[in-house]
């Protein structure tokens, strides 16, 4: 299963505000293809997606 860009953006929304700018930077940089953006975003999200508060 591959994440869609939309699903990844929903995950970015949950990040601490202080860490969002570089994700926006990648999303806004159209020198990257969609698969490249996914790769770069997942690389970062794997490390910092929020801890479950359950």
Partner 1 sequence: MSNTPDLESIESHQEEIPSSEPIRPSDVTNLTDRASSYSPENIKKMITFENTREYWRDHLQENLSLLDRKAPDLRNVYTNLVSEHPQLRAVALMNENIKSNAYFSELAVKDGQLRPGIALNFSNQETYIDPNSEFLLRQIAIQLGAKYEDIKENKKLVTTFVLLHEFGHARDFIDNYLKPNENKGKKPIVEVLKNATAESVKNRLRDLMTMPVPQHIDLGEEDVKKYKKRLETFGIKPDASGHISSEKIKIVSSNAYREMSSESIADSFAVDYIIKHRHEYFLSIGEQDDHSGRIKTGGEIMMQNQDIILSGIRDGRCITIKKIAQDGDSGIPIGHTETGFLDGQLALGESLRLIQDIDDTRFTQTTPIKWMSRRMLTDGRTIFIAKTLSGETYEIIRNKEVKPKPIQKSVEEMNGALGINKGSEVIIMKRNIVNGGDSAVVIGKTMQGRLETSPKLGEPISLCDEKGNFVGNTSEIIEVRRIWRSWRFKTLSDSIYEIIPTE
Q: How far is the CB of 42 from partner 1 (least distance, A)?
A: 5
Q: How far is the CB of 17 from partner 1 (least distance, A)?
A: 6
Nearer to partner 1, 39 or 54 (CB): 39
Under 8 Å CB-to-CB from 50, ≥6 apart: which residues? 14, 15, 16
* 33 sits near partner 1 (criterion: CB under 8 A): yes
- Do 38 and 2 touch, CB atoms closer than 8 A? yes
* 17 sits near partner 1 (criterion: CB under 8 A): yes
Tokens encoding 33: 């293809």
């Amino acid at each position: 299963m591959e994440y869609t860009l939309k699903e990844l953006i929903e995950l970015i929304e949950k990040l601490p505000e202080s860490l969002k700018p570089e994700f926006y930077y990648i999303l806004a940089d159209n020198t990257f293809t969609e698969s490249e953006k996914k790769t770069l975003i997942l690389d970062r999200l794997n490390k910092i997606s929020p801890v479950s508060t359950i």
